[in-house]
Amino acid sequence: MVENQSPRALLWVKSAQYFIAIIITLIIGELVERIPLFSNTEIYSGLTSADLVSFATKIAVLVLFFLFTKHACNALSGGGNAVSFLRRVAIPVAALIIVCVAQKSIGEILTPYLGSTGKTLLTIISSLAVLSAALWVVIAGYRYSPMLFDFFVALGQKVRSLLPVNALDRTCPACAAPVQGAEKYCLVCGNDLELNRCKHCDAEMVVSAKYCGQCGHSRKES
């Protein structure tokens, strides 16, 4: 059944499998940590088996999270500029999350057994890793930001096209009173609104104008 699916559908299936694996790994890790055999077994100077299980669980989840993000991004083909932007920044964002969690987990395991020099070196390495991942996110966001801008421009145009006529800016060219709906005459001064819009380009014309200021056609031309 799975073999008959499209490549995109297979990628979504794979992504779902990785997501389910993340949930299962978290649950199993939490349950194993609570087993007395692990929580009461000290390996070295306060380091218990439960601590190692917790560390291994976090690393496994981070690996699965990266694979999930990668396959989900590959499955997000098409969909316009917004989806394209998301595909290109998702991996850098995932990398930043992974680095932040990994450096914290490694620090919790190693810090109690490091001297001052070791702690300083670990801090420098962790800081460089986080800064590098953050810089990757910034560069990706800046590089592909035009896609997001184009998406919001297109969205604004789409929303405006869906608005009813009475929601758009429209005034009587004779008295500047607001015009509601698609009235043919102004409700305030009685001006003929149809005659005051060019029949060729639909631009508004002042009452006394004989020719359109936008296209040059005569008001009387059909």
pLDDT tens digits, 162-217: 655 444 557 777 787 887 766 778 888 887 776 666 777 777 666 656 777 677 77
* Beta-bridge partner residues of 178: 171
Residue 190: predicted pLDDT: 82
What pLDDT does residue 53 have?
A: 92
* Structural contact between residues 201 and 193, judged by C-beta atoms closer than 8 angstroms: no
Longest dimension (CA), the chain: 97
Pick out the chain residues at pLDDT < 70: 1-4, 78-79, 160-169, 181-182, 194-197, 204-209, 213, 219-222
DSSP H helical ranges for 144-186: 145-162
pLDDT of 147: 85
